[in-house]
Each structure stands twice: as C-alpha cells, then as structure tokens.
Amino acid sequence: MSEFSCWGRYPHAQQTAYKLSWRDQVYTVISSENSVLPYGQGRSYGDVCLNDGGALLVSGSIDRIIEFDRHQGIIRAEAGLTLEELLRVVVPAGWFLPVTPGTRFVSLGGAVANDVHGKNHHRHGTFGSHIKRFALLRSDKNVYECSPEKEIDLFRATIAGLGLTGFILWVELQLIPIEDSCIRMESIKFNSLSEFFEISDSSNQDYQYTVAWIDCLKQGAGFGRGIFMRGNHASAAEGKGLKVYEKTLPAVPFDMPEWMLNRYTVGAFNALYFRKQLRDSVTKIVPYDTFFYPLDAVARWNRIYGRSGFMQFQSVCSRDVIERILQITAASGQASFLAVIKEFGDIKSPGMLSFPRPGITLCMDFPNRGASTLKLLRELEELVCSRGGALYPAKDAVMSERSFKDCYPSWQEFMEYKDPKFSSSFWRRVTGER
Amino acid sequence: MKVAVFGACSAIAIEVARLYAADGHELYLVARNEERLETVAADLRARGASKVEIFSIDFLNTDAHHGLVEDIISKAESLDLALVAYGLLGDQLQAQRSFKKARKIIDTNFTSVVSLLTLLSNLMEKNASGTIAVISSVAGDRGRKSNYIYGSAKGGLNIFLQGLRNRLSTSGVHVLTVKPGFVDTPMTADFKKGLLWSKPEVVAAGIVKAVRKKKDIVYLPWFWRYIMLIIRHIPEKLFKRMSI
Ligand SMILES: Cc1cc2nc3c(=O)[nH]c(=O)nc-3n(C[C@H](O)[C@H](O)[C@H](O)COP(=O)(O)OP(=O)(O)OC[C@H]3O[C@@H](n4cnc5c(N)ncnc54)[C@H](O)[C@@H]3O)c2cc1C
Ligand SMILES: NC(=O)c1ccc[n+]([C@@H]2O[C@H](COP(=O)([O-])OP(=O)(O)OC[C@H]3O[C@@H](n4cnc5c(N)ncnc54)[C@H](OP(=O)(O)O)[C@@H]3O)[C@@H](O)[C@H]2O)c1
C-alpha cells in the first residue's frame, strides 16, 4: 500500500489502487467501485490525494500528448503527463510552463485539481488561469468539455476541485514563450522581516519570479533573516540555448532516524545556508531546474524525516499575522529548514476553492513528533483562520472542519458540482461527510 | 532510422518508441486496438517523430502477417529496426488445466512471433542490413511451476532467436534477444512490487542502448544476468523442490 501514499507520509490510508494506462479504462473502474479518487504523482503533502477505505484511480500511465502547437504554444495532453515530461518536449521548442510549482514531478491533473501556484503568482496568477479547456469524466458516464466559455461552472469547480468533481482526462494549456531556458537570478540577503517586505515591494514590478527562503528557527537578533531570490527568463544573448535541465543527485536511500533532525542540527543548517552566500547580493545565470526545482535533484528527500513522516503548514495572511506565526514557530523550536515566503498578487483564479489570495504566503515543514506538532499546528491554524487567512489543502493533513469552511466559503456552491461517487480522506475530514 | 514496433501499445514498447521519437526517427506501429494506437501515434508525433504510420492487427491471425509486412514496406520502403514487443503472460493455473488456454499463451509468445520473424528476417537478409529485436523474458531461462507455460514459449523463442542470429550473422543482420526481469506494466498489474522491480522507461533505455551496441542477448536491468546465472545453475534435484 505504501506505493500510494502522500508526500508527507502522514496520514496513512488503505485503499485499492487501480493503475490505469488508457482513457477508456477509467469509467469501468468508476462504475465498479463505491468511492473513487483520482491520484496523480502523490506530491500533495497530506490527504487530498488519499481515499482511506475507497479506491484510487492512478493516472500515471495515462500520459500521452494529444497535440502540441509549436507556433501558438498550446499543448493538449492526458492528465497523467508530468510537468517534467512536458518540459522535455516544450522547452526545446521555445516554450515554458506559465506557472510551475516547486517540483516538476506533478501531473497535469494534479496541477489543475490543486490549482497550483508558483514564484510568479504576482504576475501570472495560478495554473488554472492558463487552462484553455479540459475534459472531465464523471460517474454519470458523460465526458464534459469545460472551458471559460463552456460548462463554466464545472470549469470553475474542477480547478482547485481537489479531484472531487470527476476524472480529468486531458488538459489544454497555454504556454509562455522563452528565448532561453536559463534564469537570470539575483539572490539578496535580508536580516529582518521588514527588509523582506521592502525587497518584495520593490521587486514585484520588474521581476517575473520572486520568492524567499526564511530562517524560522532564529530568535532575537536575526529574527526574520533569509535570502530573497528574484529572476527573469534569460535572453538569448545571456543564456545557453533552449536546453532541458534535469540535474539529479543520489536519492535518499532509506528512512533516516528521527533524532537526526532537531533544533540544533536544523539551526546549524540554517545558519550555514544563510552564511553560504557571502555578499549581500549575487546575480547569476542558472538553469531553470536550479531556480525552480532545487529539491527535485534529490529523489525521495521526504525520507529524511524518517518513518513517522512530516507535515507542511502553508498559509496565506496579512503581514502582521506572518510575523506572529514566525515568532510562535521560532519559540517552539520545532525544526523546519525548508521554509519559504512569498507575496501573492491579486489575480483572481477561476477556481471556486482556489487557495491563493492577496497576502503573504508562508510554507514550513515540521517533522511529525505527534502531539506536540499537532498542538503547534492547531495554534497556528487558529491564528490564521481567525484573522481572515487561509490554509492550503494540498499541503494540509490536520485542518479542522470549521477552519476549512471559514477559509473556503464557496464550499457550499462547490457541493453542487462534486461528483457523488468521488471522495477523499481530506474531504471527509473537512466536511464531516461520510 | 525507420523503426517498426509490433505490439506498439505495450508499456515497454511505448517507452522505446518515445526514445526514438525524441530523436526524430520514423515509426511504423502495429497493435490490435486501433483507438489506443491512435493516441500513442499522436503522442509520438508531438514528441518529434518525423513520421508515424499505424497498422492494426491481432498477431494471432498469422494469415494476415504477410499482408501486414507488405503494407509496412509499401510505406517505409525498408526497415532499420523491427522490435517485437507484444506478449501474453496468461494465467498459469488456468493454462495447466486447459490446453486451449496454454495454446493461446504459446501461440502469442512463440508461434505467431516465428511467423512474423520468418517474413522480417527474409526481408532483412535480402537487404543485408537491419536489426531484429525481440522482447523475450528471463522466464525463458528456466522452467518454474509458477509460469512454465509462458516460460517455455519464451524459452523456445530464445532458441529460435539464437538460430536466427547464427544464420544471419554473415549477412549483416543483427538479432537481439531482450530478457527483462520484473517490469511494472499492465501485464504485471496484479503482482506485489518490491525491490527487484523496474520501470518500463529503464528497460526501454536498455533496449535502445543494446540495439545501438549491436548486443546479442541483453538482460534488463543488468543485474538479472547474475540472478539468472545463479538460478540456471541450481541443480535440478534441488530446484524441483523449490518454490520460486
Ligand atoms: C517539493 C514540493 C514542492 C511543491 N511546491 C509547490 C508550489 O510551489 N506551489 C504549489 O501550489 N504546490 C506545490 N507543491 C504541491 C504540489 O504541486 C501539488 O500537491 C500538486 O497538486 C501535486 O500533483 P500530483 O500530480 O502529485 O497530484 P496528487 O498529489 O496525486 O493529487 C492531488 C489532487 O489532484 C487530484 N487529481 C490528480 N489527478 C487528477 C485527475 N486526472 N483528475 C482529477 N483530479 C486529479 C487528486 O484527486 C488530488 O485531489 C509542492 C509539492 C512538493 C512535493
Ligand atoms: N512486464 C514484465 O514484467 C515483463 C517481463 C519480461 C518480459 N516481458 C515481455 O515484455 C513484452 C512487453 O510487455 P509489457 O510488460 O509491456 O506488457 P503490456 O503493456 O501488457 O504489453 C503487452 C502487449 O501485447 C499485446 N498483445 C498481446 N497479445 C496480442 C495479440 N494477439 N495481438 C496483438 N497484440 C497483442 C497487448 O495488447 P492489448 O493491450 O490489446 O491486450 C499489449 O499491448 C512482452 O513480450 C512481455 O512478455 C514483460
């Protein structure tokens, strides 16, 4: 069963997995099971991709490109195709993803169903904003072609629809043109949260991509320190051509012991990372994988958290709440070295249950230490949800029913479009539905 | 290169075809499910194949093989590589109870391949060039109770290919026997997967490399060569009592 788990490996689920290869196989499984959920690459951290006690429709080998218009930059492909495979084909032709998450190992279907965002949210909005149309197979046996013009409500429900409106068969996506596949990246050190806000404010205009790593263990002097990264696609003159980059390092071979990650080892790591860059600001031309997918180089890096897994906490909220979250986290000493902070823009996604909204988003990983981790996450959740923020379902394993309903008031409208045969562990948790 | 793939909807074959497509080669694809074959063809075109033609046939219908090969040649003129990928694992328990079931396994994995290879080998021999690559299996290296009907068909195929290689060695035609171990594909969907399992992409890359290097027999991934070396050398007295 462990073959089909979520990225944080918490919670666990028992489910019947159907590995599908062809579009014509999907309906047969839907009709033979009581409760089904599409499963892409399992890169969601928590239980949006799990269906305890039910069945999974594994899309991995339904992964064919249907049409690629090299002149217009429009690609239509089956939903199981990964962004990695897509990039292999489109980059040499001078195109790039309009929006990409921090890993290229996700499927098109998963990217739509979580309406993923990237470092260019302030300029391009979410993944769903670039979908021209898709085909959705529902348990009534009909295939619905949805677009901003046709089946509009089903279109809006399925983008960020968490796999609950049916099985996406294929997706048509508008790509963006690039001259070169490198990124001109500038890294700037900052020593406090207010410095981060300043740099962010001054970067959003001229940089297509902005994001920062932040040290969320540091208290006192240096609280809120980090490294800001901003970039644009390199020009033909600066770069090295339209190359496909897929750097790989050795995989993490086994589950690491839990005691290895503690406030001292992670604190030391963070300090090293912060000091690695000597100068205040460095500009480099880097391959796109270095810029967008630094973690992808190490396969199965989730094993460093050991068998008990880990949880991610990603929220979006106002600047003052972010400061409070960081204070609480630093004081708790619960180690988290992969912490990312970014300012979202105000481009509205078509998705009903879409997560991004104007504000600051902060992403932190916590090793699962049982009760103490849950207690901290509850405290942060209360804070975010009581102050008008929201948590990201793709990263969540613990949010309460009340928080979900507060953060996503459209859930009731969404219910009209949810497919009665589709469900997930996440959905049952946050709605109380059975 | 002009590449013909027989059994082009097999998971392993699709990955091989993708590698050739990415390098801009011409592909001639044969399978029995035309609708699925169309989607595979579109994918390969998008990935850069310079030409893709499709042909649909059930390989058990050996009477149609001659026409098929003629059709392919009328479109391709000649072939640089013919990859035979289709196969049928079948259900061992059912096949040991019913000869009808056993025969289908043997005909799919052996008899029909012999028919096809007869045509292809004569063609390539006449042109004095080309590669014939056939996906057999490690199961053909030793008979085991869990799959000896499939295993004996693949074993027969191995001997056939050895002979063919011997015959064609002087006429410049390369014959490659591919012996994959456990591969995670629809054929093995019901098996519990473990450490020894590989992805079809990995096996496909091995096939393309073995074609390029003009290998005679290749185990994929490489470690299966050593596993089978050991298995082949277990004395029959002992082996007959084992459960592997
Ligand atoms: C290292 C790392 C970095 C990440 N960075 C980001 C980031 O920067 N921004 C961001 O937004 N996310 C990020 N994520 C999260 C990830 O992008 C999302 O969870 C994504 O949806 C995972 O896609 P998947 O193919 O693995 O889908 P899964 O996790 O398998 O499934 C996700 C959801 O999609 C549904 N689904 C999958 N296929 C279909 C289909 N064919 N039809 C209908 N529904 C379907 C599932 O039911 C499920 O609800 C990151 C994850 C990792 C591991
Ligand atoms: N998977 C393994 O572990 C493994 C190990 C060793 C060797 N092999 C060999 O590898 C080859 C490829 O198999 P795979 O693993 O890629 O499995 P697969 O995806 O199931 O492919 C098998 C293919 O053979 C086709 N086929 C079977 N009988 C046919 C017939 N009479 N006419 C036309 N097509 C027919 C099937 O077509 P349909 O889809 O129409 O049925 C299917 O596309 C086979 O020769 C197999 O024996 C596999």
| CA dihedral (B201, B206, B212, B217) positive or negative | negative
Chain A residues in contact with chain B using a Cβ-Cβ cutoff of 8 Å: 3, 19, 21-24, 61, 64-68, 75, 78, 88-89
Q: Which residue type occupies A323? A: E
* pLDDT (tens place) for every residue of chain A, 434 residues total: 457 999 999 999 999 999 999 999 999 999 999 999 999 999 999 999 999 999 999 999 999 999 999 999 999 999 999 999 999 999 999 999 999 999 999 999 999 999 999 999 999 999 999 999 999 999 999 999 999 999 999 999 999 999 999 999 999 999 999 999 999 999 999 999 999 999 999 999 999 999 999 998 889 999 999 999 999 999 999 999 999 999 888 888 888 888 778 888 888 888 888 888 778 899 999 999 999 999 998 888 899 888 899 999 999 999 999 999 999 999 998 867 779 999 999 999 999 999 999 999 999 999 999 999 999 999 999 999 999 999 999 999 999 999 999 999 999 999 999 999 999 999 999 999 87
C-alpha span between A184 and A283 (Å, rounded): 7
- Nearby residues of A426 by Cβ (< 8 Å), 6 or more positions away: A46, A47, A48, A50, A162, A393, A396
Which chain B residues touch A68 with a CB distance below 8 Å?
A: 46
Q: What is the pLDDT of residue A1?
A: 42
Report chain A's C-alpha Rg in angstroms: 21
Helix axes A193-203 and A319-332, enclosed angle (nearest 10): 140
Q: How far is the CA of A23 from the centre of ligand 1 (A)?
A: 20
Q: How far is the CA of A203 from the centre of ligand 2 (A)?
A: 54
C-alpha distances (whole Å) from A213 to each of A125, A149, A330, A340, B73 are 21, 39, 15, 5, 59
C-alpha span between A337 and A330 (Å, rounded): 11
Q: Say whether the peptide bond before residue B221 is cis (omega within 30 degrees of 0).
A: yes
Q: What is the pLDDT of residue A2?
A: 59
C-alpha span between A270 and A291 (Å, rounded): 19
Q: Which among B35, B46, B189 is the nearest to A65, CB-wise?
A: B46
C-beta of residue B87 within 8 angstroms of C-beta of residue B10: yes
Which atom in ligand 2 lies closest to the alpha carbon of residue B59? 32
C-alpha span between B220 and A262 (Å, rounded): 42
| Element spanning B3, H or E | strand B2-6
DSSP per position, B122-167: HHHHHHT--EEEEE--GGGSS--TTTHHHHHHHHHHHHHHHHHHHH
Q: Of the bound ligands, which one is closest to the alpha carbon of residue A54? A: 1
Interface test with A, best of B15, B40, B47, B183 (most A CBs within 10 A): B47
For residue A71, give how far its alpha carbon lies from the nearest alpha carbon of chain B (Å). 13
C-alpha span between B174 and A285 (Å, rounded): 46
Cβ density class B138-160: b for 16+ within 10 Å, e for less: bbbbbbbeebbbbbbbbbbbbeb
**Would strands A167-174 and A131-137 be described as parallel, antiparallel, or unpaired?**
antiparallel
Closest to B84 measured CA to CA, from B195, B3, B181: B3
C-beta of residue B46 within 8 angstroms of C-beta of residue A89: yes
pLDDT digits (tens, 9 = 90+) for B156-198: 999 999 999 999 999 999 999 999 999 999 999 989 999 999 9
| CA dihedral (A291, A293, A295, A299) positive or negative | negative
Neighbouring-strand partners of residue B24? none
Question: Token digits for B242?
Answer: 């084992």
Report yes or no: B36 at the A interface, CB cutoff 8 Å. Answer: yes
Known catalytic residue at B150 = yes
Q: What is the pLDDT of residue A253?
A: 85
Q: What is the pLDDT of residue A298?
A: 87
C-alpha span between B106 and B140 (Å, rounded): 12
Q: What is the pLDDT of residue B105?
A: 98
**Would strands A74-78 and A65-69 be described as parallel, antiparallel, or unpaired?**
antiparallel
What number of residues does chain B have? 244
C-alpha span between A115 and A134 (Å, rounded): 13
Q: How large is the average pLDDT for residues B131-147?
A: 97
Q: Can you say how many angstroms the Cα of residue A201 is from the centroid of all Cα atoms in its chain?
A: 23
C-alpha span between A385 and B38 (Å, rounded): 50
Give all strands of the β-sheet with A182-190 in edge-to-edge order. A281-287, A182-190, A226-233, A209-214, A340-344, A359-367, A310-317, A390-391
Question: Token digits for B77?
Answer: 């003129």
Residue with tokens 């909807």: B9
Q: The whole model's pTM is what?
A: 0.96
For residue A68, give how far its alpha carbon lies from the nearest alpha carbon of chain B (Å). 6
Q: How far is the CA of B210 from the centre of ligand 2 (A)?
A: 20
C-beta of residue A55 within 8 angstroms of C-beta of residue A77: no
Which atom in ligand 2 lies closest to the alpha carbon of residue B187? 20
Report yes or no: B35 at the A interface, CB cutoff 8 Å. Answer: yes
**Within 10 A of B228 (CB to CB), how many other CB atoms are there?**
18
C-alpha distances (whole Å) from A325 to each of A96, A387, A408, B122, B175 are 35, 12, 21, 75, 66
C-alpha distances (whole Å) from A186 to each of A196, A279, A339, B138 are 14, 12, 19, 53
C-alpha span between B79 and A251 (Å, rounded): 40
C-beta of residue B164 within 8 angstroms of C-beta of residue B132: yes
**Within 10 A of B231 (CB to CB), how many other CB atoms are there?**
16
C-alpha span between A230 and A227 (Å, rounded): 10
- Nearby residues of A196 by Cβ (< 8 Å), 6 or more positions away: A190, A212, A214, A224, A226, A228, A341
**Nearest residue of chain A to residue B38 (CA atoms):** A66
Question: Token digits for A204?
Answer: 């959003």
The rounded percent of chain B whose pLDDT value lies above 90 is 98
Q: Say whether the peptide bond before residue A11 is cis (omega within 30 degrees of 0).
A: yes
Q: Which among B35, B40, B47 is the nearest to A89, CB-wise?
A: B47
Our answer on whether the CB atom of A38 is closer than 6 Å to any ligand 1 atom is: yes
Closest to A228 measured CA to CA, from A276, A281, A178, A279: A281
| A49: phi then psi, degrees, rounded to nearest 5 | -105, 15
Residue with tokens 């003052």: A320
* Complex ipTM value: 0.94
Report chain B's C-alpha Rg in angstroms: 18
Report yes or no: B190 at the A interface, CB cutoff 8 Å. Answer: no
| Element spanning B73, H or E | helix B65-76
Report yes or no: B63 at the A interface, CB cutoff 8 Å. Answer: no
| Element spanning A344, H or E | strand A340-344
Nearest CA to ligand 1 atom 18: A44
